[in-house]
Structure 1
């Protein structure tokens, strides 16, 4: 639900501990562990009303997409990177280490403190990209050239 979640996880924390989880097809969720169970834990979800509304819509879509034969709402499937970090370089020489939040053949979401303007050219590892969106935790980039899984791994290595 948009207010809580029960998760099957290989690792659990303590009741009351703050957690950030990344769920396939949902994304980043923040909350607090409220109960431990045999296969993982249950958590409350800390989010604004707007984010909870978006989560409710996404959960409804996910629950109904198979019955309605709806396609995935992403242009390209996610890819799990070999390394969870990437070097981000700007044309002026600034270099940052970023954490990969989400990765696909066409782009990435990166946790980053810097706030480059939308449209800024950047290098993510050895891959040319453009900043297409800013969000609370960082930036989203679109690669200049569609990648393959192999070229993505090589470009981010």
Structure 2
């Protein structure tokens, strides 16, 4: 889920920024894939996933682009609410320049350091959203090779699901759970866990939902 350049237990605040003069960034960026949602000035919310992030900015993968300079409010897993403005459009999304106090930037630096070290130190995958057991657990799973198999949802949250299935795809592979693109992020006895590439909308998330 997360690819980083930093060594274990280093902090983003103490580590010198290397090679960023050309892009005029003031903060060390961490490649981190965190699911979330964002709200543009029309007050509509859309799903997103981070590509990389620093205490001063974040690059998103998303479907709906904001205008350059438009205010954006973000709600990200493990991080919470942050806001800023659209700085530039990118392939598959846009970058946000964050508006934050020095105290908030310090907090973001600590959160990003934790996320980076969490992956490096091999801490278990977690889901911060509430999990429920679906009333109708049967679901079709489409594998990367196009093969479709029947599976059972053990539990599900806004950001992922635990699945029981006769076939276990390789770690990191992309699968489609029902109609929801996902990535396999963990394997456990009796099944495996997937993370949705974009989080579910709250109105799709209930005990009788169909993915």
Normalising to structure 2: TM-score of the pair? 0.37
TM superposition score normalised by structure 1: 0.48
